[in-house]
Amino acid sequence: MKKFIVALVLSVVWTGQVLAQTILGGVINSYARVTNISGNQFDMNNVYGNVSDFSAGRTVLIIQMKGASARNGNNDRYGELRDYGNAGNYEFATVSNLINLGGGNYRVVFNTVARTYDVAGAVQLVSVPSYSNLTIAGDVTAKPWSAADGTGGVVALEVQNTLTLNASIDVSGLGFRGGSPNSQPNGGSNDENTYRTNNNGYAAKGEGIALPNQPNGRGKVANAGGGGNPHNAGGGGGANLGSGGNGGRGWPGAGGTTGAGIGGVGLMYDPIVNKIFMGGGGGAGQQNNNRASRGGNGGGIIILRAGTITSTNCGAAPALRANGEDAPNSTGNDGAGGSVLVEAGNITMPCLLTIEVSGGNGGNVNHNAAHGGGGGGGVGAFLSNKDFSAATNVIAVPGQNGRDCTTCNNSTSTPGSPCPAGNCASTGWSITGGFVPLPVELYGFEVAYMPTRREVKLQWFTTQEINTHKFVIERSIDMKNVEAVGEVAAAGESRLLRSYSFVDMPWQQGTLYYRLRIEDRDGTISHSQWKAVEVTEEGAATARFNMSPNPATGGIVTLRCSKDIEAIHLYDTYGTLQLDLQAQGKEQVVNVEALPPGLYIVKIKTMEGEWLSKRLLIQ
């Protein structure tokens, strides 16, 4: 499977409690909710575990779980991320003093705090047990995340010398919580237009890094899946590094529209910004007769620092697991995979260390009618300080959609199998959550529209490239008809962090979709996920045009302009006119097959008399 590796360097010295010990399993961290921050002083309560774990000299993880902002208009852009804010900020810090304020409240004073945190964004303190050498002999886990008390979902551990991993660390399903089915049964007509509401006849959204302004309805909220709308629509899958899938459309007899919950959006991991996130919860399925299920929970976070990781009991299949939870069957959905961060000097296990950050599966419908199955959850992230691909087996697979109908009373069907064609179909999983292995370690693929320049900027990063030839930028208006709009040469062979970008000037308006086609030197081709962007015509008085493909390899080049074209002129670098064409309309096909390779200038004249020019490279 594809390995998601992001180089994150933690500038933390080894401090705090130092022990040599064997852990038999269970919860090894203590947790506390932060209620107030003043400089390096953090007030806390809701302590789970031992208060002494936050005493002077101890190492503590400061981490903010939420705090991002998202769009809140009741439309199909509801829940899109506006700003990450301080969500995902984290650091290891050393306690200088612990003060009892009384009534279960304490003040933790740190030596220094490097990053910014916002109490409103659910900041928690997690104790970090520190050892000289450690053997884990039984499965280690975390307290489940609870929004009510503001703690849990994280395992943090540091070992100065050797960590002997003879069991697993597992935070699967301990991250952000899934949504609940609607408490008020609602058998009304299918509703595709309500993205957020307080109406408890609509299923609840999952939980994620941004707060919904209204808790119910089909709209996602950042990495949280949307709930199903009336009636009997499935919830959307949660997200983390990968997007969540959409839920099933619901009862076809209640109208031709879909009330499917929308899957959460994938989050960006950037080693410079250095954030970490739990998996988003899935939205719930909608019910009109008490048969829906809740959304699945996302995966939690593992942060592990060690000098060397080894094992003397590979037969126990030691692993680091942060999978999303499979949703209960009925009409629910799943959660997204969590995050595993490993900072180690070396991994010398006699077997491969398994890292699991898969999304959970959407819930199946246990009913003989065409209710909506749950959407699959997106994959989580494996983050590391160096390339451990030779020593690890990373399993990062998106959750499968739930089947819309799993038990049939039709005599031609086998109970438990999909219903006959025309009755039910699996519609939960959508292309937005598709997981495709890539020939490069690709992450952070982002697309943004810049209205002042009327350009779409694409940016992506790689941490490893093997035999890679080029990136081809592809654009579509429907994710079916695809055109190449440009190319960017790849490094070819690299194990360093590399940044790439491309600027497109689309002539279309509305929602456009972009993806990367990654081509190897041996002809292997694979694709990234699609990314959507909304293109508007704000202040577009000046015409603009583009050409594709550019560079061209001979043959046909298509010119598209935002205004009607009158003439096309093509010059070589010496200023000699090579082509002089009369045109009509906004799109024109130009045959450049007879032209020798080189750089050319293409000038077009619009019907309104504007002259525009661009460079065209013919290879």
pLDDT digits (tens, 9 = 90+) for 446-491: 888 877 667 788 888 877 777 888 899 998 887 777 888 888 888 8
Looking at the DSSP bridge assignments, the partners of residue 293 are none
133-142, 211-220, 245-254: range with lowest mean pLDDT: 245-254
Rounded distance between C-alpha atoms, residue 419 and residue 422, angstroms: 8
More confident residue, 587 or 422: 587
Residue pair 375/263 in contact (Cβ under 8 Å)? The answer is yes
Q: Which residue has the higher pLDDT, 19 or 31?
A: 31
Query: Token digits for 200?
Result: 């408890």
- Report which of 416, 321, 423, 322 is spatially closest to residue 365, judged by C-alpha positions: 416
Q: Is 315 helix (H, G, I), strand (E, B) or coil?
A: helix
Q: Picking from 45-49, 229-233, 276-280, which range would have the lowest pLDDT averaged per residue? A: 229-233
Q: Which of 154-158, 240-244, 450-454, 459-463 has the highest mean pLDDT?
A: 154-158
Phi-psi sector, 609: left (phi>0), alpha (psi -120 to 50), beta: left
pLDDT mean across residues, the chain: 81
Q: Give the Cα separation of 475 and 452 in Å (integer).
A: 21
b vs e for 342-356, b when ≥16 Cβ sit within 10 Å of the residue's Cβ?
bbbeebebeeebbbb
> Mean pLDDT, to the nearest integer, of 373-377?
77
Query: Using one digit for the tens of pLDDT, what is the confidence trace for 483-510?
Result: 888 888 888 877 666 778 888 877 777 8
**Pairing of the two strands 611-618 and 598-606:** antiparallel
**CA geometry: angle at 604 spanning 603 and 606, to 5°?**
155
Largest CA distance in the chain: 85
Top-ranked range on mean pLDDT: pick from 234-238, 498-502, 554-558: 234-238
pLDDT for 140 beyond 80 = yes
Which is more confident, 446 or 36? 36
Least-confidence region, from 93-97, 276-280, 286-290: 286-290
* Domains defined for the chain, CATH in brackets: 436-540 (2.60.40.2550), 543-619 (2.60.40.1220)
Indicate if the pLDDT at residue 433 is higher than 70: no
pLDDT of residue 447: 87
Region 37-59: what's the mean pLDDT?
A: 95
Interval 313-371: pLDDT, tens: 999 999 999 999 887 665 433 455 677 888 888 899 999 999 998 888 776 666 656 66
The DSSP annotation for 247-290 comes to PP---GGG-SS--PPPPPPPPP--TTT----PPPPPPPPP-SSS
Asked if residue 50 has pLDDT above 70, the reply is: yes
Distance CA 612, CA 287 (A): 57
pLDDT reading at 2 higher than 50: no
Judge contact between 114 and 89, C-beta under 8 A: no
- Positive or negative CA dihedral for 229, 232, 238, 242? negative
- Contact call for residues 244 and 237 (beta carbons, < 8 A): yes
